[in-house]
Structure 1
Amino acid sequence: MSQPDAVICDPNPNAAHKQRKVIHIDMDAYYASVEQRDNPDLRGKPVAVGGSEARGVVAAASYEARQFGVHSAMPSVTAKRKCPDLIFVRPRFDLYKAVSLQIREIFAEYTPMIEPLSLDEAYLDVTENLKGMDIATEIATEIRTKIKAATGLNASAGISYNKFLAKMASDLNKPNGQAVITPKNGPAFVENLPVKKFHGVGPATAEKMHRLGIETGADLKARSIDFLIEHFGKSGPYFYGIARGNDDRQVKPNRVRKSVGAEDMFMADIHSFDPARAGVQPLIEKVWTYCDANEISAKTVTLKVKYANFSQVTRSKTVALPFGSLADLENAVNLLLQAIFPVSRGIRLLGVTLSSLERRVVEHVSPQLLLFI
């Protein structure tokens, strides 16, 4: 991999404005890599975390498994068919969380401006950093080196002048690499990128953009802000900005979101409960992992169901006390899902959203670490 260009802040210390420097750190095949680290017999072999040969879905896949087309949210039966030698491993979420806290302690050596997205990824604003380092690519390299030394795991990084482009850059040289998108080449990078690969554009939104003739960043840039607001509501200004390589969102270290959700559109319509249950499981795990990683609790869960004719229903459940475990959340979603069956038409998309979020009280964590969780 060639050495990426550096993102350097304004060299004039008296300048009124400094170029923002944002790093997105993304652990490589995190769950599977932890399992391969701890079990030498799994190294170099195709591994799926979650599910089983008979039922369930894949929560994470090693890079060896991905070469066969195995990926997260894939039914286990399909994954086994694609890769007959696939090894299924039960997830150990408590361990993944503990390792994630190790990684965040490394982040905290460089900046208090840390915004976790999940157990395995986070944004860091290093415009002003605790090491006094000017070059963001050097900071990213040091962090990745320290993560490897402390945990034995590989991380990739994206460096840019805003969150959107840092996130996109972290995928460019995976695994175990990093890349930079500079202010000079950011707009051109976005123009050439398919919108289905944009962070923040899910399968349903990508399909809607496709129906409107929007396939690339250049197509998106050609649409007016009024057009985008008309068709995408509150997301319109965001899409208008990122089509031009602009994203003014700040890295927010202690943000409690109003809601957190995940959804998936299926290759084939679902008509019965068991495959629907299998399809919704990775969504449950994704939203729970986010909340768990960020010490957030939720009192309301909403199930979204979109049918083959694009009609849509939602079902919600609110509890008196926040959900205390993944099992509690699974039970609540299962009840909501069971209530929609039998269905008169196929299901093309399912979504799970948690709301009424609140910060948990964290115990048995060092006061210093609490500043950065």
Structure 2
Amino acid sequence: MTLYAYDDQQRSLSAIWGTGTGHRLAPVAAVPESTKDRDALRLAEALTTLSGALWRTYTHPPEAAGSLEENSEGWRRAQTQAVLPKVPEILENPNLPDGGTMVVSYDPVEESAHHVGRALHAISDDKLSDAVIREVRTELDAIERAGLGDLTGRAAHAVTLTRAGASPAQIAAADELLRTGPLGDPALFTDLDPAASAVAAAHWLQAAADVTAKASGIAPTAIVRDADNIEALPYRTPTIVLELMQEGLSPYDAVTHLLAEAMAVAEGYVYDVEELQVRFAELDELADRYPDLPASLLAEVRLTTLDPTRPALDLLEDLLTGIRACWLIYSESADLDIPDTEDEAYAEELDEQVHTAFLEAVRKEAQKTADRLH
């Protein structure tokens, strides 16, 4: 979300938001000399809360909730999205106390907008109100464009967020970057929605695992784990993604499943109680077998595979590591009739040949199975 700050020295209100390459700051409005600091701070806090509610409509779209039936979570999200066009009007005409009572909305966006409107009403300055309404329109425009896959301008803030879904345009852009460099590209983190980048990376991980399986004889789902014997790396998440895709899930469904799990945990919920019960049952069985280890075994239990504070970025990092793990196995297993040599320059040239062969094979496999992304 965008953070709003009040500078009591300059008497100004500013907006601060994150992007893939750092934070940006923009002035919003001058605060009148007659305005009390506490009122200006209350306005900044209300704007920050509103921004959080607005951006949640991007990270938690209705279709990601599964059901749109009346009174379902998806239905409630759709109701919230329907409020977005009304926000500027609410800022101008907020619910105010009337005879000791006041109408309060259950919708987070609507009620947050009323809070901003009441803060503006308390300050009662037309120039400030007009500037704040323009600022909120900028936020609304950024969220709309981000949902369509356009992450330019203020919408670049979406790069720092985890969305329970991904736009086809962003997935296609990430896929093209990986085609250019299958081992990863910094722009996947700085310019694109990380969830979309993770979907494309899952597709390329599967292609790399399949190529490496042919060269090594190791099952695709075991390759990343085996690479941990060559170089310590986070193999758990890439392996889970490969297993999910082996079960028939698409890269999109595998990625969004893990993201949904982490996003639920971040909000204090358990995503899949039955799956967690299975994990505990397995640990109980191991604890019975090895009575001296139950404490250490229980310490291994995680409510989610990903870091719930940054799940999409965490997943993307691990998937790209998984592709590199495939390269480690491939480089040791590929039968390219390359002789041993003590000539260092020649050895480097041979290594480059193996590397090129791996990249070309992965590109070919990813192209052959490109329908996985659609």
Shorter-normalised TM range: under 0.3
TM-score where L is the length of structure 2: 0.27
Structure with greater helix share of residues: 2
Structure with more strand by fraction: 1
Bigger-Rg structure (1/2): 2
